[in-house]
Amino acid sequence: MMKCAAIIPAAGIGTRFGGSMPKQFSEYESIPILIHTLKLFERIPEVNSVIVAITPSWEEYTNEMIVVHGLNKVKKIVAGGKERQDSVSNALNTLLPNEYDVILIHDAVRPFVSPELVRKIIRIADETGAVIPALKPKETIKQIDEKGMVIKTLDRTILCAVQTPQGFKADIILSSYKKAMKNNFYATDDAALVEYSGFPVQVIDGEETNIKITTQFDIHF
């Protein structure tokens, strides 16, 4: 039987969000956003375990919330790194050889992704090796310079805005991270490391409601 683990990097400080605490611990409907995200994976049978990367100073609070909300799938809490990529690497390094078939990596502040999309990503990742959800931009997209002047208008039909979770066969994401970290190659999403290692990545339709909570406006929205 296929086994799947979800890695949630949750060590960011969220400078654009503002407030006195990292955005993943801000509350939505009286529950921390991170806990909403973890509860999502708790409800998906195809996900066997969850690994969370946390800033050490928030580990005790996270453990308390996990117990309070009965999150039995959270098997490990690891120390987060300086960058998101470092946090994911720390989580991947805790895995045993051949422990899982598919690895999901999901933003801690995307609590609204549907279980149906998560299941689809797991299935396609197991079939093809690497898959990411994305949306085609609705607005006109322009490339600008450092002074804010337009360089050119881009063809939005060949562009997409990428979401998470991103799903990978375990051997693909492990080898890709190993190569990237060895070569000090950093990127803003996990699929870029897989691309860097020469593996193909399939793109499927994401969800309008799968928003990443980045600012206070996102919470109100």
| Tens of each residue's pLDDT in the chain, 221 residues | 899 999 999 987 654 444 567 788 888 888 899 999 999 999 999 999 999 999 999 999 999 999 999 999 999 999 999 999 999 999 999 999 899 999 999 999 999 999 999 999 999 999 999 999 999 999 999 999 999 999 999 999 999 999 999 999 999 999 999 999 999 999 999 999 999 999 999 999 999 999 998 666 556 65
Report how far residue 151's alpha carbon sits from residue 75's, in angstroms, rounded to the nearest whole number: 48
Q: Is residue 219 part of a domain?
A: no
| Domain CATH code at residue 27 | 3.90.550.10
Location of structure tokens 């580990």: 59
pTM: 0.92
Q: Is residue 83 part of a domain?
A: yes
Question: 102: domain range?
Answer: 4-131+164-200
Location of structure tokens 């607005």: 139
Task: Choose among 32, 79, 27, 46: nearest CA to 165.
Answer: 46
Number of domains within the chain: 1
Q: The tokens of 146 are what?
A: 């450092």
Q: Is residue 176 part of a domain?
A: yes
b/e code 189-202 from CB counts within 10 Å (16+ = b)? bbbbbbeebebebe
Q: Is residue 89 part of a domain?
A: yes
Q: Is residue 154 part of a domain?
A: no
Q: Is residue 103 part of a domain?
A: yes
Q: Is residue 71 part of a domain?
A: yes
